[in-house]
Amino acid sequence: MTVSAKLVAWSVAATVCALAGCDRAHPEPRAPATCRGLWITRWDYRTADDVDRCLDAAAELGATDVFWQVRGQADALYRSDLEPWSDLLGVGDPGFDPLDHAIARAHRRGLRLHAWVNVYPLWKGLAPPAAATHPLNRHPSWRLHDETGSPQPLNDHYVVANPTDPAVQDHIAAVLRDLCARFEIDGLHLDYVRFVSEGLDTARVWPGDPASFDRWRAAGASGDPTTAAGRTAYRAWIRDEITRLVARVAREGRAARPGLAVSAAVIRRPDRARDLYLQDAAAWLAAGHVDRLLPMIYTRDASSFADDLAAWRLAAPPSRLVAGIGVHLQEPADLAPQLAACAGAGGWSIFAFSSVAESVDPEQDDSPLAARRRDRLRSIIAGF
């Protein structure tokens, strides 16, 4: 069947299902249908004034939704009894709650705020966290270990938690349930909710600790995860464990905050997401675990962008797709074709704030040329 034929078939099936009242596999979104989103990272704010500037700029850009990062590496950019303050805010309590402040400002400016959390990362960098209460220090067994018993080494990418460990799952669920219960967020946005393989030695088995192997076998599996055949089955089980956590987080988050919109940032193509990153995102949407998917289609190439978005349109209802656009990689001329390609989908979201507005991010290029580029990008976005 051709791509166009599949799209027609999907449209007819969706219409029949809607008329029959049988859209239970894809329940109505918990947020309005069209999203003009903006990811605002944990590097974009330090003070209450920074928070205000970010959200004012988002509103002036015409955004409807902001994905506001509150958890980067098992730490918190809000007051939490479960994880330590992020060191980005200084040492100890910064004297205000950035999330509380952001929610109030966002709502005054007519913006929906989604608390953006990195799910599995524990830490990033060559030196361990200073806080004794940080999960990496308190629970070294949560860290990925290979079949030789060696932990994933600290590196310039993320050291991650074992997604199959029940204690890890309980902790993540507790952190996100608490976040949903205590803050008047409009949505919960899951990022790095996949097998984070960057920086891992692919010759090794991760997780390769005996307890993980025992849990796999207790689930009914047999074989040797260190062999090619065994590893395929083992990875399928890890994928199921990730899905199980997504379902739990969504269920408990919605119970804590009725009407919560649950979304996930996902790999740019559905097949790559499922097979390489163990992120069965299309199935999450079909089961109602998430309300929206934000495929991170970060490229300058308009053809590649359209092709990846078309793959997602075949895998999921287009209205539930918010295309992630990586303006950090682009020149202004690249942007308009990608925004136009999102017509008929559930909207788009821009990655990221510091690429289109002035930020306290120390990595932002503050040259006059870069500032003019940001001005031009904002002008293009405002026209859509």
Kindly report, residue by residue over 18-62, the tens digit of the pLDDT: 333 333 333 343 444 589 999 999 999 999 999 999 999 999 999
pLDDT at position 91 is 86
Specify the pLDDT at position 208: 97
**177-207 confidence digits (pLDDT tens):** 999 999 999 999 999 999 999 889 999 999 9
Residues 6+ apart with CB under 8 A from 108: none
> Tell me: the pLDDT tens digits for 203-249?
999 999 999 999 999 999 988 999 999 999 999 999 999 999 999 99
Domain 35-120+165-195+228-382 belongs to what topology?
TIM Barrel (3.20.20)
pLDDT band at 126 (very low <50, low <70, confident <90, very high): very high
> 314 falls in which pLDDT band (50, 70, 90)?
very high
Q: Which residue has the higher pLDDT, 12 or 92?
A: 92
Global confidence as pTM: 0.91
- Using CA atoms, how far apart are residues 113 and 64, in angstroms rounded to an integer? 9
Six-digit token pair at 375? 């001005």
- What does the pLDDT look like over 344-379, one tens digit per residue? 999 999 999 999 999 999 999 999 999 999 999 999
Phi, psi of 52 (to 5 degrees): -60, -45
pLDDT tens-digit map of 75-85: 999 999 999 99
pLDDT at 33: 58
In sequence order, which ranges of 302-360 are alpha helices (DSSP H)? Answer: 302-315, 332-341
Residues 285-295: what's their mean pLDDT? 98
What does the domain layout of the chain look like in residue ranges?
35-120+165-195+228-382
Query: Which of 147, 163, 276 shows the shortest CA–CA distance to 205?
Result: 147
The set of residues, in sequence order, having a beta carbon less than 8 Å from that of 252 and lying 6+ positions away, is 173, 176, 177, 180
Mean pLDDT over each residue of the chain, to the nearest integer: 92
82: its two tokens: 């479960």
**Interatomic CA distance for residues 159 and 349, integer angstroms:** 27
Residue 2 has pLDDT above 80, yes or no: no
Supply φ then ψ for residue 350, to 5 degrees. -95, 130
Whether residue 351 contacts residue 44, with contact meaning beta carbons closer than 8 Å, is answered with no
| Reduced DSSP (H G I as helix, E B as strand, rest coil) percent helix, strand, coil of the chain, to 5 | 45, 15, 40
